Structure 1
C-alpha cells in the first residue's frame, strides 16, 4: 500500500461529517418511503424499470480514484426517474416517490456487494440520494406534472432547460458536500477541495447528467423499451473508466517496486520512502494541490532516493542529508534520468531532479522549478530528523528545519509543514 493509500485507509474509517450525511440520507429516504406508502405508488412499470436500473448500477459501481466510488448507471437512472414527464408517463411520480424509489433501489443494489465483501461507501450512496432529491425538487418546482412533451417548442424547451438545471443542481450539491468531506478528511482548503470535486464531476458527472436527461426524455416519449438503449453508452463509459483505473494501478505497482529497491539495497531505511511520501502528501493537501499534482508528488517522494543506487556506499541509516550537496544533487539527477526512461513519469522526474536544490539557488530565482520539489525536500529532511535513524522530537526537528528557511527550504512549504505537524501528524 502506498503512503497515500495508508493515510486514506485510516481516514476513511473516520466518518466525521459523514455521519450527518448518512443520517440525512437515511432519514430523508425513510420519510419518503412512509409518505409514498401512505399515498400509494403510481406508475409501477416505471418504478420497477428504473428501480432495477438503479440497483444494477449500484452493484457494478467502481472506484474513479483511490477514494471515490461512482455508480454512473445508478446515478443516471435516478436522475432520469426524477425528471419523467411525457405522454407515456401518467401520472408523473412526485418528489416523495422519487426519493423512496431511489433509496430502496440503492439498498437493494448494495446488498449483494455487502454480502460479497466488496467495497461500498455508504456516505457516497447517501450523497446520491440527497443530490437526486434536490434535482427532483428543482425540476418539480419548475415543471408542473400536467406539462408533458409534445410537438411544440412551448413545452419541450422549458422541460429540457429544467432538466439541465436539475442535473446541475444535483452536481453542485454533491460537489459541495464532497468538498466539505475532503476538507475535513485531508485538511485541504475548501476552495481546492471544491475544485477537485468539480473536476471529477466534469470527467464523469457530465456523462451521468446527460445520460439522465436522455433517459428521461426518451422514456417519456417512446416508452420503457428506450431505457436500456440509453444505458448502453453509459456502460461503455464505465468500462473505459475501469480500464483507466487499471492502468493507474499498474503505474502505482511499478512505482512501489522501484521505491523498495533502495530499501533492499540499504540506501534507505525500511519504510523511509513511504514515510516521506505520507508527509509530502499531507503537505500537498494542506497547500491545495490538484489531484494530478498530488499523484506526481507522491510518486516523486517515493522515488526520491532511487538515484542513490548509483553512489558507491549507502548513507548510514539512509540519512542522505549526511552526504555532500554535490553527491545529493548527483543522485537526484541520476534518479530523474532513471524515472524518465519509464516514458510516462516525466513530471515526476522533473520533481526528483530538483528535490535536493537549495531554495535560495533554486525555486527562489526560478519559478519553473516545481513547488513539489520543495515539498519533497522538506518532507525528506523532516523524516530523517524524526524517523527511525535520528528520532528527534517534532519540535526539535521543526527548529532545525526552521534554521534553513529561505536558504535551504521553501518558506511556504515549511509553514505548511508547521500546520501539518501542529494538527498532530505522525508517521
Structure 2
C-alpha cells in the first residue's frame, strides 16, 4: 500500500472521528463555522500548481490555520479541536467536489495532508494555550498568544514537511535528508507566508469579528492571482524549452523522443543524488537542450547517435549549443551545464570542481540512452557494462554509481 493511500485513509479517518465527536458535543460559533468553512472550500476550489509536484491552496491553508487560532472577545467560546478538524475536512471535500465535476486537477493526498497538518496545529495550540489567554488588547496576553500561534503554525508546517519528504523519498527515490531539506525550504518561503496570513486573520477576527475577514482575504486573493500568473509563465517556459529540444529531432540530429528520454533519466539520477529543486530544473532543461549545438554540424549522426562523432565534434557542438542557450538571457546555468556535458571526467570535473555535477549527469544519461534507447537494442546490463569501462576516465564515478542504483530499481524509458 502506497503512502498516498495511507495518507488519504488517515485524513479521512481523522476527519470522520472529529465529525462524530462534533455531532455529539454540538457546534459552537455557527457564523464562524460558515464563514471559515466557505473560505476553506473556495480556497480549495481555486487551488493552483506552481511546480510540477504539488498543488497550492494558500487561501484554504491560511483560513484553516486561522480557524485553529480563534480566541478573543469577538469569538466567545473558541472552537474545540474536533470541531476545527471536522469543519476543515468537510470544507475541503466541498471544495474538491466542484473541481472533480468540472474535470479540473485535484489531489486528495495533498488535501488529506492539509487536514492532518491542521489537526496537529489544533492540538498544539490547545496544549500550549491556557483558557485564560485570549486577545484583549493587553501585551501580557498578546505576546504569549503570538508565541502559541507561531508554535501551532510551525507544528503544521513541520508535520507537512516530514510527510512530504517521506512521499518524495518513496515516489522519486530521493534521499530523505535531501527531500526534507527541500520541503523545509518550501515551508520557509510559501508555508510561512500562509501561516502568518492565518495568524493575522485569526487575530483580527478574534478582536473585531468577521469584519476582519475581507481585510486579510483580499490581499491574499491578489497574492494568489500573482502566483497563478507566475505558474502560467513557468508552464509556458517549460513548453518553450521542450519545443526547442524537438528541433534536433525534426532535423534528424537526434532520434524521436531521445531528448525527452535523456531528460527523464537525468532527472531520476538527480533525484537519487538529492539535488535541490532549482538544480533539478536546470538539469532537466540542460538534458533536453544538450543536442541543440549539433544543428551547426554538417550532417546528422546515424540514428541520432552523437557518441559516434569524434571528441572534437561533440565538444564543438556542446560549445555552440551553450552559446545558443546563453542568448536567451535566462538560462545561463543551463548553458554552463551543456557546455561541459561532453567533457571527459578525467580532464574535466576530476580536476576542476567548478564544472557542474549536472554536466556529468547529462553525459552519463545521454550515453545510456544511446545504448539502450529505442532502436539501439542493448540490454541495461550490457549498457552498464559499456559505461562501466569508462568510469573515472569518460564518466563521473559518482554519477555512474547513481545510475546503477536507478537502473537497479527497475527504471525503464
TM-score category, normalised to shorter length: over 0.9
1:315 maps onto 2:301 in alignment:
yes
Question: Aligned to 1:42, what secondary structure does the other structure show?
Answer: coil
Of stretches 34-43 and 151-160 in structure 1, the one that deviates more from structure 2 is 151-160
Match of 1:6 in 2: none
Q: Which residue of 2 aligns with 1:35?
A: 21
Identify the range of structure 1 (398-407 vs 236-245) with the bigger mean alpha-carbon deviation: 236-245
Match of 2:117 among 131, 136, 139: 131
The separation in 2 between residues aligned to 1:194 and 1:240, in whole angstroms, is 27
User: Which of the numbers 205, 226, 246 marks the counterpart of 1:219?
Assistant: 205
Q: Aligned residue for 2:272? A: 286
List structure 1 runs of 4+ shifted beyond 6 angstroms. none
TM-score, scaled to structure 1 = 0.95
Q: Say whether 1:159 aligns with 2:135.
A: no
**In 1, Cα distance between equivalents of 2:23 and 2:137:** 35
Structure 1 unpaired stretches of 5+: 1-14
Shift of 1:146: 4.0
Does residue 300 of structure 2 align to residue 306 of structure 1?
no
In the TM superposition, residue 242 of structure 1 has moved relative to its aligned partner by: 1.2
Gaps of 5+ in 2: none
**Secondary structure at 1:63 match in 2:** strand
Report the secondary structure of 2:106's partner residue. coil
After superposition, what is the alpha-carbon deviation per residue over 1:292-350, rounded to whole angstroms, capped at 9, x for unaligned? 11111001001111111111110000000000000000000010011111111111110
The residue number in structure 2 matching 1:373 is 359
Residue from 9, 21, 28 that aligns with 2:7:
21
Answering whether residue 74 of structure 2 is matched by residue 88 of structure 1, we say: yes
What is the match of residue 136 of structure 2? 150
Structure 1 CA distance for aligned equivalents of residues 338 and 306 of structure 2: 14
* Distance of 1:217 and 1:246 partners within structure 2: 33
In the alignment, which residue of structure 2 is the partner of 1:264? 250
Secondary structure at the counterpart of residue 210 of structure 2: coil
Q: C-alpha displacement at 1:365, in angstroms?
A: 0.5
d(CA) in 2 for partners of 1:395 and 1:249?
A: 36
Compute the displacement of 1:48 (Å): 0.5
Aligned with 1:198 (options 179, 184, 189): 184
Matched pairs, number: 413
Confirm whether residue 395 of structure 1 aligns to residue 404 of structure 2. no
- CA distance in 2 between counterparts of 1:391 and 1:384 reads 9
CA RMSD of aligned residues (A): 0.9
